[in-house]
Amino acid sequence: MSLSEPQVARLPANTSSCVCQIPRCQSGGSVPSERSMGKMFASRGILVLAVLLVSLIGGQSESIPCKLKDEQHGKVCVCTADYCDYLENPVLTDENDWFLISSSKQGLRFSTTTDKFGKQEKITVQDYVEPMQETANATILSRLLDKLVADAFTLESRESSITRTVSLRLDRSKTHQKMVGFGGSYTGAVEYLVDNFKRSELADHLYKSYYGEDGLGFNLMRVSIGGCDFDLEPWSYAEEEGDTLLSDMDELNAHDVKRVAQIKRLIEVSGVKNLLVKGAAWSSPPWMKTNNRWTGFGRLKRAYYQTWADYHLRWLRLMEDNGIPIWAISTGNEPLNGVFFMYFVKFMSLGWTPQTQAIWLNDHLGPTIRNSEFKDIILFGNDDQRYSFPHWFKMMNRTRPNSIDYLNGLSLHWYWDEIFGNSFIEQTTEYAPDKILIVSESCIGDKPWQAAAPLLGSWERAEKYARDYLSNIKLGFHGWIDWNICLDEMGGPNYVDNTVDAPVIVNTTTFEEFYKQPMFYAIGHFSKLVPEGSVRIDAVPSNVNLDSVAFLRPDNKIAAVLFNSGRADLDITLVDSIRGQFVVNVPAKSIHTLLYS
């Protein structure tokens, strides 16, 4: 047995389970009582050592732990063609079982804890402990002793620190929206990076990490119709001047050939069962626009309103013919970029006002799609920021009464959520109830006060994701699609250097590894155990120490996300309307996903 390989240590059956690595423990553990366990180390140390040694010989878990690496802003998980971390979905064998997945600023990444409802003692999730420095003559026994000593000090230090308390009541009888799912975007930048991987196995790990059951369980994907800023250059179909017949749309554009092939490979290796792909156009070909340019103050010429609708229909057929059925399209990416923000936005854009978009949707796009073989496709409106809600849709209806009846859903970009409050969404849902609400783009680094580049290992950026996911889900959103699933170390490639951060960053020095950031795991705490069709239920914390959302899944299990953003450990008393209660202590600056029957 090689100690360089992660081994599995299982605790005795009468304690909660913890999956650890030897010599490094990268997952949290659960213990019946902090103080009692600490005092038992001296008398039971030999017994625990024996159990650990026997467990080491016994075999490995199917789940693969994170290979942690320290970066400037925190810790990342390293994936290579030969190694990448995964977590099998839990299997509950008893109606009183619960299963907790944990990540923390200190270094937990999808660690696991299991126990049962109804126990009186508190269960503690141990935070990540930095490994002891090893000597050349270290033995298995000495390493295990070092770990026991480190754990003892960790327990004692957490006993003496401040611990806050909260109760969380889950009521499965009070239901809200049904979830569509979670996903990311497959841009030209992603296609370029994947195409340059030295080994295809690395790409497979990227795909499975996001869309596999042992990964984040994504089921949504956003793609651009033509090009976007995260491409090596601007492009579209039908670029030839005056080609109103769209004569080149019977075959994939050269820019799309590799991307479509890669997406098909993603579907194959990840095993994603129902991939829902949403398309959005950044710009029409320049000759259709008033300024004859990719960007700047430019709107669609009225003479080409029907041509642009036909363009979308032809694209739907083209994707389906090439093995990528499309679930949804939107009326266009960020329409205000081409009429108000052209001095700041240097990438592809097509300007719309609510009035002109209402005419195009009501008189052209809507009838074209609804009278085609794609009549049941989902149509999303706006694909822009909160500040345009709900005024945009009201103005559309004033221009063409009931024009938004063509829209099945409304899609939002998150970039100004912290400036423009929840009332913009609440007023929208009052005005247009029963629409699918989805966040269709999110990333960090777009603001002047943010670093427009990856901050490798940043837990703070992961917390921003967690807060916004929680806020929008509680506002009634049905799904979330993040921006690029991977970028390079500079936050690109992007043809206008509009660089940002991403949950996965590729090492382009070697193209032999990528890094999963804390953002990746923060997103996963929502997506992994909340499948399509899950229904949000009431989750009411007793105070501000905890933020949470909970769901009743299609298999009638409960999944709850628990976010402790505070600097103190937190005792959570979870009370379920049917199952009862238990108490779990979680570390400061941590996020968790709970599953139970």
In the DSSP assignment, the letter for residue 321 is H
Query: For 248-283, b where at least 16 C-beta lie within 10 A, e where not — what string?
Result: ebeebbebbeebbebbeebbebbebeebbbbbbbbb
Q: Which three-class secondary structure state does DSSP give residue 142?
A: helix
> What integer pLDDT is reported at residue 430 of this predicted model?
97
Give CA separation, 267 vs 197, 202, 271, 361, 428, in Å.
18, 15, 6, 32, 35
Indicate left, alpha or beta for 465 from its phi (over 0: left) and psi (-120 to 50: alpha). Answer: alpha
- Alpha helices per DSSP H over 387-431: 391-399, 423-431
Q: Where are the domains of the chain?
A: 181-532
33-47 pLDDT, tens digit each = 433 334 333 333 433
pLDDT tens column, 234-243: 999 999 999 9
| Other Cβ atoms within 10 Å of 35 Cβ, number | 10
- Tell me the C-alpha distance between 31 and 590, whole Å: 18
Give 370's contacts (C-beta < 8 A, 6+ positions apart).
Answer: 406
Of 361, 382, 275, 351, nearest in space to 312 by CA: 361
Q: What is the DSSP letter of 24?
A: -
- Give the contacts of 263 (CB within 8 A, at least 6 positions apart): 186, 221, 223, 277, 324
Domain 181-532 bears CATH identifier 3.20.20.80: yes
Tokens representing 12 are: 């005795």
Confidence (pLDDT) at 142: 65
Cα first-last separation, the chain: 38
d(CA 222, CA 276): 9
Residues of the chain with pLDDT under 50: 1-61, 153, 155-157, 159-160
C-alpha torsion 16→20→26→30, nearest 10? 10
Listing DSSP states for 82-126 in one string gives S---B-PPP---STTEEEEEEEETTS--SEEEEEETT-SSPEE-P
- Tell me what pLDDT residue 137 has: 60
Give φ, ψ of 559 to 5 degrees. Answer: -120, 130
Structure tokens of 101?
């997945």
Buried-exposed string 411-434: b where 16+ CB fall within 10 A, e elsewhere: bbbbbbbeeeeeebbeebbeebee
Instruction: Give the per-residue pLDDT at 29.
Output: 44
Closest CA to 100 of 562, 540, 476, 587: 562
Q: What's the Cα-to-Cα distance from 370 to each of 313, 340, 375, 401, 478, rounded to whole Å?
A: 10, 31, 4, 18, 23
What is the spatial distance between Cα 462 and Cα 464, in angstroms, rounded to a whole number? 5
Provide the whole-model pTM: 0.87
Question: Two tokens at 384?
Answer: 């822009």
Give me the phi and psi of 286, to 5 degrees please. Answer: -55, -35
Q: What three-state secondary structure class fits 30?
A: coil
CA distance 308 to 293: 16
Question: What would the two tokens of residue 177 be?
Answer: 């929206």
E-only strand ranges, 414-526: 436-441, 479-484, 487-488, 504-506, 513-516
Cis peptide before 6 (omega within 30 of 0): no
Q: Are 272 and 212 in contact (CB under 8 A)?
A: yes
CA distance 299 to 134: 65
The total of other beta-carbon atoms located within 10 Å of residue 211's CB is 26
φ, ψ of residue 106 to 5 degrees: the values are -70, -25
Region for 556 from its dihedrals, namely left if φ exceeds 0, alpha if ψ lies in -120 to 50, beta otherwise: left
Report CA 410 to chain centroid distance, whole Å: 19
Amino acid at the residue 173: S
Q: What is the pLDDT of residue 5?
A: 32
| Dihedral sign for Cα atoms in the order 447, 449, 454, 458 | negative
What pLDDT does 33 receive? 40
